[in-house]
Structure 1
């Protein structure tokens, strides 16, 4: 059965089709939620709520983007809602998902070779929430500023500003002192 057919069956409340769609996307959406929340069980809860939300709002999905991208946005929003409600820190990043940060001034944002992925994870966790969320959405999830502004309910300019400030704070946190230890 084609994905479009499965989605149409889900819109008709076909439980078998819903289970098929759930099985197809469950693991990937769990990984997304796990990046934002600390606990495995909490990430599972976020994913469950996201799927419930997606199935109840499936009539709003019109295939302007892939179903996976549409669902991912719901998972990210549910994760952020969960964090706001619980005031929890963002979870560790997966090394695979870190990428070089592009800035307006430099073509690439590079860090000292002595800095480890764990150092980057710890530095991101120390950022204030408003910078942390934008940095995570931009660097890890790959959203652009327009999408980030929609997700967080901020202006496009605020997204750019918070990303710029977040990157600057990350660079400060990752600077190596003269004696070799980090701040």
Structure 2
């Protein structure tokens, strides 16, 4: 079934088109949810809420840009709303620990597997993880992140800097890397994982 046939079918509430849309895009979108969620169950709940929104809002898709990108934006916003709703974003962060880290604008070798990186990102406190995901992986600006999370732009910047430092320490501690050698652009490679 073509993408346009899926969209048309979903606009007419055709269950086979809805099933096809879900089967085609849910694996990638689950990985997006997994990066934001505290657990697999949270990620699955986010995914379910996100696809309900996709199906109820499909009439707003205007064939401008990629359909997958449109779905991804809905899923990301659903994840953020889920975290806010369940007050998971406001969990405390050990700022003393984060401030004591030396931030290096360096990264891991390109041979690093995406799964290991995602697992290490999931070890970050939820606030750090959320900002890191939104900025480095989803491409939002610090201003947009501030608006989405109801925080100052400067808070988004500092959370991102601290998250990179903490992530680097986790990667070193887990012996995934010995010491970083390049800049943090490797995070962008996770976008489609």
Q: Determine if the TM-score, normalized by the shorter chain, exceeds 0.5.
A: yes
CA offsets 1:63-118 (integer angstroms, 9 cap, x no match): 2221111111111111111111222269xxxxxxxxxxxxxxxxx922699xx969
CA offsets 1:6-25 (integer angstroms, 9 cap, x no match): 10111011111111111000
Instruction: Tell me how far 1:56 sits from its aligned partner.
Output: 0.8
CA offsets 1:35-62 (integer angstroms, 9 cap, x no match): 1112212211211111111111111111
What is the total number of aligned residue pairs between the two structures? 151
- TM-score normalized by the length of structure 1: 0.65
Runs of 5+ consecutive residues of structure 1 not aligned to the other structure = 91-107, 177-183
State whether residues 37 and 89 of structure 1, in contact with CA within 8 Å, keep that contact through their aligned partners in structure 2.
no
Residue from 105, 109, 134 that aligns with 1:109: 105
SS at match of 2:51: helix
CA RMSD of aligned residues (A): 3.6
Q: Which residue of 1 aligns with 2:139?
A: 142
Q: Which residue of 2 aligns with 1:21?
A: 21
Instruction: Tell me how far 1:171 sits from its aligned partner.
Output: 6.0
Q: Which residue of 1 aligns with 2:99?
A: none
Instruction: Tell me how far 1:135 sits from its aligned partner.
Output: 2.5
Q: Does 1:169 align with 2:156?
A: no
How far apart, in 2, do the equivalents of 1:60 and 1:112 lie?
40
- TM-score normalized by the length of structure 2: 0.62
State whether residues 29 and 75 of structure 1, in contact with CA within 8 Å, keep that contact through their aligned partners in structure 2.
yes
State whether residues 134 and 162 of structure 1, in contact with CA within 8 Å, keep that contact through their aligned partners in structure 2.
no
